Amino acid sequence: MKPTDFSKYLTDYLMQYLPNECGVSPNTIQTYSVTFTILLGYMKAEEGISPNKLFLKDFTKSRIINFLDWLEIERKCSVSTRNNRLATLHSFFKYIQYRDMKGMKVWQDILSVHFKKCTSPEMPFLTADAMKLLLKQPDISTRNGRRDLALLGLMYDSAARVQEIADLTPADFRFEGTTTVKLKGKGSKSRIVPLSENQVRNLMRFMQENHLFEPHSSAFPLFSNPQNGKLSRAAILAIVKKHTAMARLKNSFIIPDNIGCHSLRHSKAMHMLEADINLVYIRDFLGHSSTTTTEIYARASSQKKMEALKKMNPSIVTDRKKSWQKDGELLKWLKELQHKY
């Protein structure tokens, strides 16, 4: 069967344009491909067009809007997810603009579809005490428990993204002097971050137990699955969820319900901020491209807000004791106020 123009362009977009011209990481391409998989399912189920019969001309602004509405209504996706799917489609049709000039008006119509406004979700993180409690949960009398302690500690100590942890190998560590780890982040950008002494000791014990200091092991996954492949993001999330659930049973007041892998990264950033570490250093530690992204932690820190408020003149708002509380007659006091004003 002869391929359609859509299938040819989509293949070139995912396999050539994104990795070769844009330098997009495999993880991002995988995320983009999920959007198109969902879109193809929608076009077949709701529009009656099979993937092998789908042409560029079948895409219109109204169909894209219907697809986005379907994501929210039928698939119960959040506005944030809807916007992420739309961002992927915008990227694709920007690419198409330069490949199919005849459809320029249609592609520009699709590009005019707006992102929905959405409130920023609350950023869950763990306090220092909560983080200590979490790290006490792995049972270090077991092999998996020792692995989990090394993994959770490293996720927090390095503020690494979950994929950065999954991609680590023994060769990414330098143990001379201050121990550092090289993290390969978004857009194929790498950064080197230092590790604390306690975390280094946990990590070295784990690596020695698993023979990861041997020369032939330098390219092995640091954290592996039973098949000796690297742990998946889902597997790492399961480890985080398992131990946060255990910690919550010990103290439900300090362990939020929605803690995930990224929460450990957030926690490290918040603790650095509360230790008065400069935002520029935190930006570099996290691998952000600008401090604009990092400023979210400054906005989220209630401790920093209270410290800023304490620097203001506290005498502006006074404690006025003259009130109905003096004689306990609320109704009488309210009536006096009515006459006064």
Mean per-residue pLDDT over the chain, rounded: 85
Nearest partner of 209 among 160, 153, 141, judged by Cα: 141
C-alpha atoms less than 13 angstroms from C-alpha of 127 in its C-beta half-sphere: 10
**pLDDT of 291 over the 90 cut:** no
Grade residue 327 by pLDDT with cuts at 50, 70 and 90.
low
Of 44, 182, 233, 262, the catalytic one is 262
Q: What is the DSSP letter of 230?
A: B
CA distance 180 to 191: 10
Instruction: For residues 200-226, give the mean pLDDT.
Output: 93
Percent of the chain with pLDDT over 90: 57
Range scoring the smallest mean pLDDT among 89-98, 122-131, 200-209, 245-254: 122-131
262 is a catalytic site residue = yes
**pLDDT of 42 over the 50 cut:** yes
Range scoring the smallest mean pLDDT among 77-86, 114-123, 232-241: 114-123
CA distance 209 to 206: 5
Of 44, 63, 99, 186, the catalytic one is 186
Angle between helices 233-250 and 128-135 (to 10 degrees): 110
3-state SS, residue 133: helix
The neighbouring-strand residues paired with 193 are: 181
186 is a catalytic site residue = yes
Of 85, 146, 248, 265, the catalytic one is 265
**What's the pLDDT score for residue 102?**
85
Select the more confidently predicted residue: 275 or 296.
275
Of 9, 42, 156, 297, the catalytic one is 297
Grade residue 307 by pLDDT with cuts at 50, 70 and 90.
low
Instruction: For residues 8-12, give the mean pLDDT.
Output: 93
116 is a catalytic site residue = no
114 is a catalytic site residue = no
**Can you state the percent helix, strand and coil of the chain, rounding each to 5?**
60, 5, 35
266 is a catalytic site residue = no
**What's the pLDDT score for residue 318?**
47
C-alpha atoms less than 13 angstroms from C-alpha of 256 in its C-beta half-sphere: 12
Of 82, 146, 147, 161, the catalytic one is 161
E-strand stretches of the chain: 173-174, 180-184, 190-194
One-character DSSP codes across 18-86: IIIIS---HHHHHHHHHHHHHHHHHHHHTT---GGG--GGG--HHHHHHHHHHHHHTS---HHHHHHHH
Nearest partner of 203 among 214, 213, 193, judged by Cα: 213
Q: Do 107 and 91 meet the contact criterion of CB atoms below 8 Å apart?
A: no
- Thinking of the domain 128-274, which architecture would CATH place it in? Orthogonal Bundle (1.10)
> From the CB of residue 121, how many other CB atoms can be counted at a distance below 10 Å?
9
> Could you identify the residue written with the tokens 């530690």?
285
288 is a catalytic site residue = yes
